[in-house]
């Protein structure tokens, strides 16, 4: 069922718990890789990327301009805009799609990534309050995206068998 020609397409919305797990995997992996890269380049160049050492503006709900947030924003935009999945989403069987379950493009990925990179607490809180039961953050709604469970079943005509 592809959702075209009057067929109904079933798209399974991901749980908040699984989405949080994917987010944690992403920030841990990106943090480790960023620190390793900064450590390797540090003795030679002091790793100046013209990123401010701390946030330009920071409050408990906003973290604008820090190098970490900018790197995460770029990471999510590129991976989710080209593959539909970050490493955390791949690990937990999730994917970002449009509202029909189809692939998204880089502009939509950038909009939805902005909220989780820079404004996550507000992004989630507004989603919970303004759109209860939808499984969407505010920036998912603004970008017309959803996070769905990936169907890991075998392709048509294939059956996987475990030895035993």
- Tallying the residues shown for the chain, one arrives at 164
Distance CA 114, CA 120 (A): 9
pLDDT for 48-95, tens place per residue?
A: 444 445 554 444 444 555 678 889 999 999 999 999 999 999 999 999
Lowest mean pLDDT among 39-43, 48-52, 114-118, 151-155: 48-52
Contact 137, 51 (CB under 8 A): no
Distance CA 98, CA 100 (A): 5
pLDDT of residue 4: 60
Confidence tier at 2 by pLDDT (50, 70, 90) = low
pLDDT of residue 1: 46
pLDDT of residue 60: 46
User: What is the pTM (predicted TM-score) of this model?
Assistant: 0.77
| Helix-helix angle 106-118:67-82, to 10 degrees | 150
- Local structure of 53: helix, strand or coil: coil
Q: Which residue has the tokens 């991976």?
A: 79
What are the residues whose beta carbons fall under 8 Å from the beta carbon of 60, sequence distance 6 or more? 121
pLDDT for 99-138, tens place per residue?
A: 999 999 999 999 999 999 999 899 999 999 999 989 899 9
Q: Which two tokens stand for residue 132?
A: 């209860």
Distance CA 63, CA 67 (A): 10
Distance CA 86, CA 7 (A): 30
pLDDT of residue 104: 98
Lowest mean pLDDT among 3-17, 40-54, 67-81, 139-153: 40-54
pLDDT for 20-33, tens place per residue?
A: 999 999 999 998 88
Q: Which two tokens stand for residue 78?
A: 């590129």
């Amino acid at each position: 069922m592809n959702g075209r020609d009057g067929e109904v397409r079933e798209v399974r919305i991901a749980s908040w718990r699984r989405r949080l797990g994917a987010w944690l995997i992403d920030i841990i992996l990106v943090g480790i890789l960023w620190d390793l890269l900064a450590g390797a380049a540090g003795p030679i160049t002091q790793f100046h990327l013209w990123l401010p050492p701390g946030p330009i503006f920071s409050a408990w709900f906003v973290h604008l301009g820090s190098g970490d947030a900018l790197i995460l924003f770029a990471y999510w935009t590129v991976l989710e805009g080209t593959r539909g999945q970050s490493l955390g989403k791949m690990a937990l069987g999730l994917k970002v799609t449009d509202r029909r379950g189809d692939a998204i493009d880089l502009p939509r990925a950038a909009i939805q990534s902005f909220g989780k990179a820079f404004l996550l607490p507000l992004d989630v809180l507004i989603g919970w309050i303004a759109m209860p039961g939808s499984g969407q953050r505010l920036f998912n709604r603004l970008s017309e995206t959803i996070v769905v469970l990936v169907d890991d079943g075998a392709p048509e005509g294939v059956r996987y068998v475990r030895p035993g």
